[in-house]
Amino acid sequence: MVRKSCYIGFSYFAGLFLCTIGWGRNNAVFALASACVAITAFALFKRYRKHIALCFVSFLIAVGVNTAYTHIFYDKLTALDGKTVTVKGEITDISYIGSDTCRLSVNGTIGEVKGRLTFYADDIEYDYYDNIVATVKVSRIEDSINFRSEQYNRPKGVFLKGSTAESIEVTGGGNTILRSIMHYRDKMFMLINDIIGGDEGGFAAAMLCGDKTELSKQTKLTVYRSGIGHIFSVSGTHVVIISAMIGWLMQKLSKDKRVIFAVQTVAIWAFAVFAGFSVSVVRAAVMLTLVTAAPLLYRRPDPANTLCLCAVV
């Protein structure tokens, strides 16, 4: 049986995709329906029984993973709606919004549950990847007439938003390498806005750095309601261009495939950090890492296999 990764990845992704219907509440129905389809196909298509079994198991694992995530994380986090909780974790993003106030994005624990949260705090000397402990009142993110906030944030694993922190304490420093990359991103972001200026600079900075803070609320609202908000996404196109440039340059400097792969991989994942680990960049980084690693493993990169394996990762 060829392309096992393709069958596994496609079935796994299909399971996760279907689980988004009803947001984990219809998983039992999907599991039973897939079992009926698999049994019927297994009886009718004897030649493809291995394929059917592999696809069914992969689909069932995806449903199980989504079910576990729903009960272990999603249900427990949304149950905190309206409560004041202790947030512990590292700062992954900082936005200064004026009036001695900043917006912090923290990845860590909310109460006793792992999760990510954005909240407001008094503007003091915060830095990327600082470890903090904060007391914040949280509320569930909901869609509004102007913006489908819940539908936008939920796929990112963000279900709650926080008000202004009642108390906050920096408990230690974080990863200096990741912090340096984020500082470089901020420097480039400010440079683009200083040179271009206005909404034009905000557009360019958003498309290159993934930071939309320099765009006015009215501009962002107009773009998203027009259905073209995806132009702000830092995506696979950026990663491919960077990988191709680094690969071309390294081939001029070295003939060692391992050295070329190492430099390309570092550049790709450094950009993923630069872009704030957006989903579109991470999936492209995973796929390009697999593609560039294939020759080292004496394999020919297969687009279908690589794409489906990337879906699983």
pTM, to two decimals: 0.71
78 Cβ contact list (under 8 Å, min separation 6): 140, 159, 160
What is the tens place of the pLDDT at every residue in 139-160? Answer: 998 887 777 788 777 877 888 8
- Let me know how long the chain is: 313
Q: Looking at residue 88, what is its pLDDT?
A: 92
User: Is residue 162 within 8 Å of 136, Cβ to Cβ?
Assistant: yes
The structural domains of the chain, with segments of one domain joined by +, span 4-78, 84-174, 177-232, 236-312
pLDDT value for 135: 93
pLDDT, one tens digit for every residue, the chain (313 residues)? 567 778 888 888 889 888 888 777 888 898 999 999 999 988 888 888 888 898 899 999 999 999 998 888 888 999 999 999 999 999 988 887 777 888 888 999 998 899 888 888 887 778 888 999 999 999 998 887 777 788 777 877 888 888 888 888 888 777 788 888 888 888 888 888 888 877 777 777 777 776 776 777 777 777 777 777 676 677 777 888 888 888 888 888 888 888 888 888 888 888 887 777 777 788 888 888 888 888 787 777 777 777 777 777 7
What pLDDT digit, counting tens, does each position of 156-211 carry? 788 888 888 888 888 877 778 888 888 888 888 888 888 887 777 777 777 777 67
Helices (H), 92-216: 149-153, 176-196, 198-209
Contacts of residue 114, Cβ cutoff 8 Å, sequence gap at least 6: 73, 108
Q: For 6-25, what is each residue's pLDDT tens digit?
A: 888 888 888 988 888 877 78
Q: SS3 of 103, please?
A: strand
Q: What is the CATH number of domain 84-174?
A: 2.40.50
